[in-house]
């Protein structure tokens, strides 16, 4: 009788507080519901099912070093982690954006948390976490999100991306910043699994520590902690990574590499010597190539280099800023301009294969763009470097989990977050309980609702089938089956007859 009376009081109050609004379509009665549980991310239930059945989220939560972070009036660790994770998944870039989640009455329950916490609670919790323990915890789960996928041959891309800063944060120092010269920044040293675009690690350093020597310790540690059979078949990087310390360290670990060289004076002299020789061969996509051997100053030994050149297309205009003069290069004159690139490698493959392998490295830049502009790498900044490191690794982990789920649901092509999140998350979800059952009713908010529904149902059916098989037939666990499916569907890797190193390099696959 008491519950019925309360429901009646709520209904009366909503009617009394109703407001008439005059719109172009006519008069509309507006009411605010205080009791209804709803979320703008109704389709998130399918992603949370993926995390639950694979055990990825549960293991991450259980092993958190904040387990001792307890107080009689304090928030629960699982509530803190769940709030941060949902904020990252929602595409937030600031801790202040967490407030936008706190009216969500559905998603916290689906994730198994009691309530979302305030932004300051998340900040204080990250401050309380021991730095070494926190790094180890997050790195363990970053490794776990990619390690089963390494049974197929893969390529490791290393690079540094710059994060401009606008305050007085620790490590906010002026360094290499091509887009915003003079702006203090942080340098994100990253290690990426090519092809699948999964992050293996990230090191947040001061803005003036963008040199490859800062990347090298993490690279060596990454290689040494991987089992021999799961190590990359190739380490690849741009001109900043191709230095003597990096190449010597990789040679000591018998790890093949492919880097771009800066066009220093000695490199340019070598290009001048070989320019008119007839040894140029086709390197694909309009490029010509020629290989040789060179020992630059500071190198411990001579190494193989591949010189690539391509004729410039269209009209050329030469400018002399000091003399304020312009010179036009006319098409009818026998002048050919070239753009050059010089690669250094210890691979023995043909020039055309090596050139294509390096061109494939450009896909790594797409991952950086996605993480900085569509996820939280461009934000979540605090005054201390420790919390910046924690959130950068948390963003990378959420990014990996979401990328794997999207690949499972849509193996035909990779969908970036700017496309996949609206497609596979957005939808008003209303949660109701009746007869001991919970029911989530989803109202889609975009024109591809039928397509999104088909994708999500297909992924859910696969997960449930693998779970049933694992329970009844002692089959591999759901997480192992997910990895097996993704590798087979995306790379065409045959688990019974893995390709050779030579086949991998010829295909330029990651």
Nearest CA to 344 among 461, 256, 432?
256
Report, as ranges of residue numbers, the positions in the chain whose pLDDT lies below 70.
Answer: 1-17, 34-35, 67-72, 314-336, 475, 492-510
Tokens standing for residue 407: 């690949």
342 and 308 in contact (C-beta within 8 Å)?
yes
Phi-psi region of 196 (alpha: psi -120 to 50; beta: other; left: phi over 0): alpha
Q: What distance in Å separates the CA atoms of residue 407 and residue 403, rounded to the nearest whole number?
A: 6
CB contact set of 454 (below 8 Å; sequence gap of 6+): none
Residue whose entry in the numeric block shows the structure tokens 């239930």: 45
E strands within 41-132?
none
Residue whose entry in the numeric block shows the structure tokens 């509530």: 79
Q: What distance in Å separates the CA atoms of residue 51 and residue 113, rounded to the nearest whole number?
A: 14
E strands within 267-302?
281-284, 287-294
Percent with pLDDT over 90 in the chain = 59
Nearest CA to 214 among 223, 226, 202?
202
Cα angle 133, 135, 141 (rounded to 5 degrees) comes to 105
Tokens standing for residue 165: 């800063």
Q: What is the dihedral of CA 65, 66, 70, 76, to 10 degrees?
A: -130
Span 406-443, pLDDT tens digits: 999 999 888 999 999 999 999 898 888 877 788 888 98
Domain ranges of the chain: 1-35, 257-345
187 and 175 in contact (C-beta within 8 Å)?
yes
Identify the three-state secondary structure at position 362: helix
pTM assigned to the model: 0.88
Tokens standing for residue 11: 């209904």
Identify the three-state secondary structure at position 461: helix
CB contact set of 1 (below 8 Å; sequence gap of 6+): none
What burial letters (b/e) apply to 463-500, b meaning 16+ CB within 10 Å?
beebbeebeeeeeebbbebbbbebbeebbebeeeeebe
CA atoms within 13 Å, Cβ hemisphere of 120? 1
Q: What is the chain's length?
A: 510
281-284/257-261 β-pairing = unpaired
Span 42-52, pLDDT tens digits: 999 999 999 99
Q: What is the pLDDT of residue 8?
A: 56
Span 323-363, pLDDT tens digits: 555 555 555 555 567 888 999 999 999 999 999 999 999 88
Q: What is the pLDDT of residue 386?
A: 95
Q: What is the pLDDT of residue 434?
A: 78
- How many helices (H) and strands (E) the chain has is answered by 17, 16
Span 188-213, pLDDT tens digits: 999 999 988 999 999 999 999 999 98
| Mean pLDDT, all residues of the chain | 86
Q: What is the pLDDT of residue 445?
A: 82
- For 115, which DSSP code? -
DSSP result, 381-435: --SSHHHHHHHHHHHHHHHHHHHHHHHHH-TTS---HHHHHHHHT-BEEEEEEET
Q: What distance in Å separates the CA atoms of residue 104 and residue 94, rounded to the nearest whole number?
A: 18
Q: What is the pLDDT of residue 102?
A: 84
Tokens standing for residue 494: 């045959």
């Amino acid at each position: 009788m008491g519950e019925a009376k309360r429901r009646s009081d709520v209904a009366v109050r909503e009617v009394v507080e109703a407001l008439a609004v005059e719109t172009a379509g006519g008069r509309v009665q507006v009411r605010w519901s205080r009791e209804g549980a709803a979320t703008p991310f109704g389709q998130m239930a399918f992603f949370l099912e993926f995390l639950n059945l694979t055990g990825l989220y549960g293991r991450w939560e259980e092993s958190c070093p904040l387990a001792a972070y307890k107080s009689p009036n304090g928030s629960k660790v699982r509530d803190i982690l769940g709030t941060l994770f949902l904020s990252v998944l929602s595409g937030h870039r600031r801790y202040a954006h967490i407030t936008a989640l706190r009216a969500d009455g559905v998603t916290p329950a689906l994730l198994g948390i009691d309530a979302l916490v305030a932004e300051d609670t998340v900040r204080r919790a990250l401050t309380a976490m021991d730095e070494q323990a926190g790094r180890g915890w997050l790195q363990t789960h970053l490794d776990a999100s990619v390690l089963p996928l390494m049974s197929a041959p893969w390529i490791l891309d290393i690079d540094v991306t710059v994060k401009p800063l606008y305050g007085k944060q620790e490590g906010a120092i002026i360094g290499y910043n091509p887009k915003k010269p003079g702006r203090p920044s942080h340098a994100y040293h990253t290690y990426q699994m090519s092809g699948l675009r999964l992050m293996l690690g990230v090191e947040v350093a001061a803005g003036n520590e963008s040199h490859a020597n800062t990347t090298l310790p993490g690279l060596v540690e990454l290689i040494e902690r991987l089992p021999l059979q799961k190590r990359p078949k190739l380490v690849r990087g741009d001109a900043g990574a191709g230095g003597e310390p990096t190449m010597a360290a990789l040679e000591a670990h018998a790890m093949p590499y492919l880097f771009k060289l800066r066009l220093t004076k000695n490199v340019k002299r070598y290009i001048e010597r070989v320019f008119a020789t007839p040894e140029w061969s086709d390197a694909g996509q309009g490029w010509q190539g020629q290989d040789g051997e060179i020992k630059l100053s500071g190198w411990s030994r001579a190494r193989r280099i591949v010189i690539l050149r391509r004729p410039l297309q269209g009209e050329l205009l030469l400018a002399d800023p000091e003399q304020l003069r312009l010179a036009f290069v006319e098409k009818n004159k026998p002048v050919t301009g070239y753009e050059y690139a010089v690669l250094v490698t210890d691979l023995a493959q043909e020039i055309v294969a090596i050139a294509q392998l390096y061109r494939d490295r450009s896909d790594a830049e797409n991952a950086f763009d996605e993480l900085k502009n569509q996820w939280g790498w461009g934000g979540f900044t605090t005054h201390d470097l420790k919390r910046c490191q924690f959130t950068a690794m948390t963003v990378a982990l959420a990014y990996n989990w979401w990328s794997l789920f999207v690949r499972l649901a849509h193996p035909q092509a990779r969908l970036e977050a700017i496309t996949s999140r609206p497609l596979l998350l957005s939808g008003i979800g209303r949660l109701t309980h009746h007869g001991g059952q919970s029911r989530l009713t989803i109202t889609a908010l975009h024109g591809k609702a039928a397509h999104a529904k088909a994708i999500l149902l297909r992924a859910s059916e696969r997960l449930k089938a693998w779970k049933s098989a694992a329970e009844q037939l002692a089959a591999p666990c759901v997480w192992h089956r997910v990895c097996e499916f993704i590798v087979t569907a995306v790379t065409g890797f045959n688990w019974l007859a893995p390709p050779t190193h030579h086949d991998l390099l010829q295909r330029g696959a990651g």
